[in-house]
Structure 1
Amino acid sequence: MHVRTNAPLAPLTTLGIGGNAAHLAELTDLDDFGDVVELARREQVPLILGSGSNVLVADAGCAVPVVRMATHGAVFERAPDGSVVVTVQAGHPLQELVEETIGNGLTGMETLIGIPGTVGATPVQNVGAYGQEVADILVDVTAWDWTAGREVTLSAADCRLGHRTSIFKRSNRWTLLTVTFRLRPAQLSTPITYGMVAKLLGIAKGESVPLDEAAAAVLAVRRSKGMVLDASDPDNRNVGSVFLSPVVNGGQAEELRAEEAPVNDFPDGLTRVSASWLIKAAGFTLGQTIAPGVRMSTKHFTLVAGGQATAAAFAEAARTVADAVQKATGIRLTPEPDLFGDEPAYLRLKQDALASAAP
């Protein structure tokens, strides 16, 4: 495993923002993970970078070592109950895996099509979209436990998956190595529950369609929102949804539904409202400049970078949006992207959101 010093991180992220890593290594073979352990012994436990689609790199760069997880490979095995268990290397692109499962006639991941990122990030975020999420199909993960100094296997229950969260979120104790899912052979998708997707397919919500048709419709909806990475798209430099969908109480949910806001009940028992709807309700417009080099997408209410955008400007823009939403609706937004390095304004924004959410 080759380690570079003072290596640029911005080109390895979808925002294209930030400075250099003091030490950057790329892992392509799990047999070489011992080199990562040695790097940690010499320096400190590294940050793990996949495709950089949920990362904000500080302008001053990152003093903590960074390991780019670039391992590939997926093994499919038929289980006695007829399901198919697939074990995937953490660095394997999620898009490639979803396409392979559809090609193999397996349901469970078809609506995750078009999500950038690596498979190793999916349990961390409990990645989900358009009616499916990792919690529905996760069997277990293997990970390096930096506290115990050994490889461990954690069951889906051990991972404590929630809405865009898990035990891995905001913790550097574990580095994920492989992820195992259980999928089901099927010709038809899981029921389509999202209105935009159902409308595009010409079906009622709750109906199913062939796997490839469901995936194509989801991909079209994502593309219409600028949520598919495309170098020719001026809104391409983004991290998807910058803010988590916030939790609302019963009274808030009732009021928001009366305003036709997208309010949904989640498997964890909590009710959440769309962050993008709140941003629009706070008076922002598509394409609006929020901070130098940072604006609203022209397709969807999320922040995108352009020109000479900086991490400081992105943090400023996120703060402006969060403050305006709270003033207009009384609801505090929590920014989702992970921070590599030190950007005080962004850290304060996250801490403020966590403090406001505390009971």
Structure 2
Amino acid sequence: MQIRENVPLAPLTTLGIGGRARFFTEARTEAEAREALSWATERELPLFLLGGGSNLVIADSGFPGLVLKIAIRGVEPGWENGKRLYWVGAGETWDPFVLRTVADGSPGLALLSGIPGTVGGTPIQNVGAYGAEVASSIRTVRALDRRNGRIVELSAAACSFGYRKSIFNTEEKERYLLLAVCYALPRDGDAKLRYPDLLSYFARKENPPSVKEIREAVLQIRRSKAMLVSRDEEDSRSVGSFFKNPILEPAAFAELQERAEKRGLTPPSFPAGGGKRKVPAAWLVENAGFPKGLDRGSIGISRFHALAIVNRGGATAAEVVAFMIEIQNAVEALFAVRLDPEPVFVGFESR
């Protein structure tokens, strides 16, 4: 294990913002992960686990402890009860793994194509898109328990998955270091298309689309919104969707409707169970005065996707956070809805 000092973190994130790590190392094996944990514990240093850097806002002051980049690789396929199993190292890049499952003919992850980051990050926030979530495909999460240094395997039920959450970012936020994930995917079948973008894309197609066609559609739609990370596309210099789609109780949704109607607006929504409604955060952001393409100099809103706060060049974390709060306050003042951010905030006192 090689420990480096004062390593710039901004180049390791899709947002391209943030200060330096006091100490930095990579773990390519479970043994190296244990060693890094022990090294930080012995020195009473805070530890941050870095994956693909796609959902992070790192403070301008950087991180005062050890940043551990999980680089454990490998994909081990198998079978169980008629399903394809894939044990995947937490450091594997997500989309190439999705491509492999699609090539194998499984529809389980096709709707999650094109999402940046690593496999180890997917259980933490129960990554989802276009009506699909990894929670429905995860069988087991292998992790290092930071309390006792033991390796454990947690079932999907033990992970307590919810909308953009799990035990790994809620009640056990600081406890586990994820090493590998086991996905159990159907051998064949059709992905369930629910979202308008995809339904529109295939509206003229007579037969159900193949898994490969669904993946290509998802990639094309994400590309049209600058949601595929590309060095040549300024609007992809973001964390992706910055805010979660709020899920509102009936009374809260009724108030939103009332406030919107006074402005001549009708808020779109989708059933979320128990009488609740999920409202697109992008609609709230745009109708609160933050349209696509908004330019604030070094920061702004993507020209293609209203939920993407973009680093237009030279932005600071402080500017991003201030802009986030401005959007939150405007949406709350107009629609009585408080938007929750999606990214992880690193190096801030509290967020």
Give the TM-score normalised by structure 2.
0.92
User: Residue 241 of structure 2: SS of its match in structure 1?
Assistant: coil
Per-residue Cα deviation, 1:184-230 (whole angstroms, up to 9, x for no partner): 111x531211111111122589x842000011111111111111111
Q: How does 1:1-359 map to 2 (within 5 A)?
A: 1-43=1-43, 44-79=45-80, 81-170=81-170, 171-186=173-188, 188-202=189-203, 208-253=208-253, 256=257, 259-266=265-272, 270-290=276-296, 292-301=297-306, 302-342=308-348, 347=350, 350=351
Superposition CA RMSD, Å? 2.1
Residues 67 and 267 of structure 1, relative CA distance in 2, 3 Å threshold: farther
Per-residue Cα deviation, 1:60-94 (whole angstroms, up to 9, x for no partner): 11002111111111111012x21111111111111
Q: Check conservation: 2:123, 2:166, Cα contact below 8 A.
A: yes
Determine the C-alpha separation between the residues in 2 that align with 1:316 and 1:339: 13
Q: CA deviation at 1:47?
A: 0.9
Determine the C-alpha separation between the residues in 1 that align with 2:87 and 2:208: 27
Determine the C-alpha separation between the residues in 1 that align with 2:295 and 2:122: 31
Q: Check conservation: 1:198, 1:204, Cα contact below 8 A.
A: no
Per-residue Cα deviation, 1:24-52 (whole angstroms, up to 9, x for no partner): 10112223223222222233352111110
Determine the C-alpha separation between the residues in 2 that align with 1:268 and 1:74: 38
Determine the C-alpha separation between the residues in 2 that align with 1:220 and 1:337: 24
Residues 288 and 109 of structure 1, relative CA distance in 2, 3 Å threshold: same
Residues 66 and 244 of structure 1, relative CA distance in 2, 3 Å threshold: same
Which amino acid is 2:116 matched to?
A: P
Residues 182 and 260 of structure 1, relative CA distance in 2, 3 Å threshold: farther
Which amino acid is 2:305 matched to?
A: H
Residues 266 and 77 of structure 1, relative CA distance in 2, 3 Å threshold: farther
Residue segments in structure 1 that go unaligned for 5+ positions in a row: 351-359
Q: Check conservation: 2:57, 2:345, Cα contact below 8 A.
A: yes
Determine the C-alpha separation between the residues in 2 that align with 1:85 and 1:269: 35
List 4+ stretches of structure 1 deviating above 4 A.
254-260, 267-270
Q: CA deviation at 1:252?
A: 4.1
Q: Check conservation: 1:286, 1:300, Cα contact below 8 A.
A: yes
Which amino acid is 1:172 matched to?
A: E
User: Residue 202 of structure 1: SS of its match in structure 2?
Assistant: coil
Determine the C-alpha separation between the residues in 2 that align with 1:268 and 1:12: 41
Q: Check conservation: 2:21, 2:67, Cα contact below 8 A.
A: yes
Q: Check conservation: 1:64, 1:341, Cα contact below 8 A.
A: no
Aligned length: 341
- 1:357 aligns with none
Q: CA deviation at 1:107?
A: 1.9
Q: Percent identity?
A: 35
Determine the C-alpha separation between the residues in 2 that align with 1:335 and 1:26: 28
Determine the C-alpha separation between the residues in 2 that align with 1:268 and 1:173: 31
Determine the C-alpha separation between the residues in 2 that align with 1:130 and 1:161: 17
Q: Check conservation: 1:286, 1:297, Cα contact below 8 A.
A: yes
Per-residue Cα deviation, 1:142-184 (whole angstroms, up to 9, x for no partner): 1111113211111111100000001100511110111111101
Which amino acid is 1:232 matched to?
A: D
Which amino acid is 1:219 matched to?
A: L
Determine the C-alpha separation between the residues in 2 that align with 1:3 and 1:148: 23
Q: Check conservation: 2:34, 2:149, Cα contact below 8 A.
A: no
Which amino acid is 1:264 matched to?
A: F
Determine the C-alpha separation between the residues in 2 that align with 1:225 and 1:322: 22
Residues 270 and 92 of structure 1, relative CA distance in 2, 3 Å threshold: farther
Which amino acid is 1:69 matched to?
A: I
Determine the C-alpha separation between the residues in 1 that align with 2:162 and 2:289: 30
Q: CA deviation at 1:283?
A: 1.8
User: Residue 213 of structure 1: SS of its match in structure 2?
Assistant: helix
Residue segments in structure 2 that go unaligned for 5+ positions in a row: none
Bigger drift between 105-114 and 38-47 goes to 38-47
Determine the C-alpha separation between the residues in 2 that align with 1:143 and 1:282: 41
Q: Check conservation: 1:163, 1:268, Cα contact below 8 A.
A: no
Q: Check conservation: 1:226, 1:299, Cα contact below 8 A.
A: yes
Residues 48 and 98 of structure 1, relative CA distance in 2, 3 Å threshold: same
Q: CA deviation at 1:269?
A: 7.6
